Structure 1
Amino acid sequence: MTVRTRFAPSPTGYLHVGGARTALFCYLYARKHGGQFVLRIEDTDLERSTAESVNAILEGMTWLGLDYDEGPFYQTHHFARYNQVIDELLDNGLAYRCNCSKERLEKLRVDQMARKQKPRYDGCCRHKQIDPNEPHVIRFKNPTDGVVIVDDLIRGRMPFANDELDDLIIRRTDGSPTYNLSVVVDDADMRITHVIRGDDHINNTPRQINILRALGFEPPQYAHVPMILGDDGSRLSKRHGAVSVVSYRDMGYLPEALLNYLVRLGWSHGDQEIFSLDELIELFDITDVNKAASSFNLSKLDWLNQHYLQQADPARVARLLSPHFGRLDIDPSTGPELASVVKAQAARAKTLVELAEISAFCYRDFAEFDESSAKKHLRLVAREPLERLRAAFDLMAFADWTPEQLKHVVASVADELQLNLGKVAQPLRVAIVGRAASPGIEETLMLVGKDATVRRIDQALAYIAARGGE
């Protein structure tokens, strides 16, 4: 048997972290077992499905690098097939027409709840002959006795009594098939062997198994993944980080960091925290996923992203960083090579957005100094070191603007003035960066360049003069 998994999102919103984790689990399981990973867009909800949501799903999958072998398939393209199956069920006495009004169904629900019964359809139309030309729905004739056993790969054996399951609607009044029918037909036609999905679908599973068996198909194996909660234990929302997957790209996260983080939400391999995609394919097993819900913690994602920023190829990080400079209205071609900036600054940033922000000084002058840094380092005692540095830098040829020569100049000024190196380097750093944090001073000078260095020292000297005797 060839393993075939599917990720089947509904395009009624963006691809969120819960959906992305489900897609990742499906992908890893298929890859581990030499199988196929199928992408299916379940767009039968015609009122809520949008092309924008479809694009967001596809964009998110592409960014994450979750390559699917087949698809994307769209359920709206298969309506003829679904209706063929529904007609077969009708012909075989396994489905029936129902014309119960909304008012009757609402009264039935209210009465059942008043009697503390589980609300479900009572089979009123099971044995009626409904005129096909009048408005009606089609219901599946669920077995009334026996038990449906779901051998879940995560949760274990789960029995469901058939008398607790009602005759669900499989075709609406407008002629469109419903979710439970279309999913069953697609899973059968696409030869899906393993359905890995969120545990919000648990109640659908016994109903879908009954439809599959009514059609003569063997049900796939199921694995219901627990939900992701916020770090406060409540349902995941935007304030916890439940935003579109592509929003994480825009916030400056690397796809490998997000994948590494998502897989650890409910799955582990000893104490290992960092996994390459190849390692995940080798080690992942759906049966090792925890039954309990996981908590989303943005600080852990930040930690992982910082790790990957430092470990990734600087040239690749530079390519991903470039658009974030563009959002700051900076053209990165006007300054040092981006890869050099990445090498110098990656350890200081958690995200690409932060990396661009703290590296803006490499490409443009700043309007103001960091107040606390300037108060501490741009004092009258810093004027003479800065004046001597400016004079030395101004005389340097561009060809001599090298880390070795720059380091020598700074050290020489410190020696001449009999000052600790930090008393020279820190005022210089604040003068050319605007704050007291940057890479090593010679590396910082290399990134800024000669002209900007001299210009910014002049700015710092003017600031010191304006402060006077403060």
Structure 2
Amino acid sequence: MTHAGRFAPSPSGELHVGNLRTAILAWLFARSTGRRFLLRVEDLDRARAGAEAAQLRDLAAVGVTWDGGVVRQTDREPLYTAAIGELAAAGLTYECFCTRREIQEAPSAPHAPQGAYPGTCRGLSAAELEFKRSTRPAAIRLRSSVAEWTVEDMLHGSFTGVVDDFVLRRNDGVTAYNLAVVVDDAEQGIDQVVRGDDLLPSTPRQAYLASLLNMPVPEYAHVPLVVNADGARLAKRDGAVTLGDLAAVGHPAEAVQRTILQSLGLPGDSLEAALEGFSPARLPREPWVWPGA
């Protein structure tokens, strides 16, 4: 299958300039390496009416183009079910009945981050399983055989992160992000993943899961976020940060595109012009402080 990069927003609302900057970077990484660029809507969990159409409109407005149709995760449940079935057949899953509060309050392994699953339901007996099934529906967790995994990132180098028995399917029947993203990337031929560096800590889990499913691990590049004047991750509460709000105060999409490209040290006429001077090695490595409208 043709090599590809991608952008995969959740349709929870309008994209802000931080999301758009990451989309532009993903486009530049893909196009500069001769890859196709795909768009996937990650709508398993959060979907607001009209958000997808608004996001596609705004991506096009700043020059991001994509190949083929838009893929939606809600259309892909059979793929996720098959992957979970494969793991279950290999003895690599188990049912979990813990609440979020129980997990947060449970003692964890030394050096494990807060909220890492401590394995409470890993060894339930048949009688315990039968009783717990009568009290609440179960989530499906991975039965991990490692405590950590290392990935290579184009911007961060080697990164080693914790791998716990993470959720594959929630107890409401919704497939978890860590499974869906692995299956989707492999099935779509995506071998380059460019996304915000807030997602770097979860990447070892995904790479480990890909290895269990005999799926290729993509090339990763986790790019710096956009932050506000206080250094916090940019959010819609930070004023005019969406294309619609920025246009209302005199900053059209072309001006926003130019500002984003300038923040990357690239010419601001178009994405095609920026592509000529694009090099991952020359990208800023620090968060970009949004100058505001």
TM-score under structure 1 length normalisation: 0.56
Please, which moves more after superposition, 233-242 or 83-92? 233-242
Distance 1:261 1:105, change over 3 A: same
Which of 141, 144, 149 is the matching residue for 1:142? Answer: 144
Which of 118, 133, 137 is the matching residue for 1:122? Answer: 118
Cα RMSD after superposing both structures: 2.5
Corresponding residue of 1:15? 15
User: Secondary structure of the residue that 2:76 maps to in structure 1?
Assistant: helix
Give the structure with higher Rg (CA).
1
Which of 263, 268, 281 is the matching residue for 2:265? Answer: 268
User: Secondary structure of the residue that 2:168 maps to in structure 1?
Assistant: strand
- Cα offset, 1:239, TM superposition: 6.6
Q: Deviations over 1:153-199 (max 9, x none)?
A: 11222123xxx321111101121101111111101101111100011
Distance in 1 separating the partners of 2:151 and 2:36:
23
Corresponding residue of 2:41? 41
Does residue 24 (structure 1) correspond to residue 18 (structure 2)? The answer is no
- Cα offset, 1:66, TM superposition: 1.2
Corresponding residue of 1:191? 189
User: 1:214-233 counterparts in 2 under 5 A?
Assistant: 214-233=212-231
Distance 1:103 1:19, change over 3 A: closer
Distance in 2 separating the partners of 1:105 and 1:278:
48
The structure whose residues are more often helix, as a share, is 1
Distance in 1 separating the partners of 2:186 and 2:151:
17
Q: Which amino acid aligns with 1:139?
A: R
Does residue 286 (structure 1) correspond to residue 283 (structure 2)? The answer is no
Distance 1:210 1:116, change over 3 A: closer
Does residue 295 (structure 1) correspond to residue 289 (structure 2)? The answer is yes
Contact 2:240 2:246 in 1 (8 A): no
Distance in 1 separating the partners of 2:100 and 2:230:
40
Distance in 1 separating the partners of 2:157 and 2:245:
35
User: Secondary structure of the residue that 1:85 maps to in structure 2?
Assistant: helix
- Cα offset, 1:144, TM superposition: 2.5
User: Secondary structure of the residue that 2:286 maps to in structure 1?
Assistant: coil
Distance 1:142 1:285, change over 3 A: farther
User: Secondary structure of the residue that 1:138 maps to in structure 2?
Assistant: strand
Q: Which amino acid aligns with 1:123?
A: G
- Cα offset, 1:243, TM superposition: 2.5
Q: Which amino acid aligns with 2:272?
A: D
Distance 1:165 1:15, change over 3 A: same
User: Secondary structure of the residue that 1:200 maps to in structure 2?
Assistant: helix
User: Secondary structure of the residue that 1:264 maps to in structure 2?
Assistant: helix
Contact 1:82 1:181 in 2 (8 A): yes
Corresponding residue of 1:155? 156
Distance in 2 separating the partners of 1:195 and 1:220:
6
Q: Deviations over 1:265-303 (max 9, x none)?
A: 3x225xxx544332211221234322211111136xxxx
Q: Which amino acid aligns with 2:155?
A: I
Distance 1:49 1:224, change over 3 A: same
- Cα offset, 1:12, TM superposition: 1.3
- Cα offset, 1:112, TM superposition: 4.6
- Cα offset, 1:96, TM superposition: 1.5
Distance in 2 separating the partners of 1:98 and 1:27:
39
- Cα offset, 1:71, TM superposition: 2.9
Q: Deviations over 1:306-327 (max 9, x none)?
A: xxxxxxxxxxxxxxxxxxxxxx
Q: Deviations over 1:65-90 (max 9, x none)?
A: 31110331110111121111111111
Distance in 1 separating the partners of 2:118 and 2:232:
35
Q: Which amino acid aligns with 2:113?
A: K
Distance in 2 separating the partners of 1:240 and 1:101:
33
Q: Structure 1: which 5+ runs fail to align?
A: 300-470
Please, which moves more after superposition, 69-78 or 276-285? 276-285
- Cα offset, 1:38, TM superposition: 0.6
Distance in 1 separating the partners of 2:258 and 2:16:
16
User: Secondary structure of the residue that 2:244 maps to in structure 1?
Assistant: helix
TM-score under structure 2 length normalisation: 0.87
Corresponding residue of 2:234? 236
Contact 2:22 2:195 in 1 (8 A): yes
Please, which moves more after superposition, 213-222 or 232-241? 232-241
Corresponding residue of 1:170? 168
User: Secondary structure of the residue that 1:97 maps to in structure 2?
Assistant: strand
Please, which moves more after superposition, 247-256 or 283-292? 247-256
Distance in 2 separating the partners of 1:123 and 1:137:
13
Which of 244, 247, 261 is the matching residue for 1:246? Answer: 244
Contact 2:243 2:252 in 1 (8 A): no
Corresponding residue of 1:314? none
Q: Which amino acid aligns with 2:17?
A: V
Q: Structure 2: which 5+ runs fail to align?
A: none
The structure whose residues are more often strand, as a share, is 2
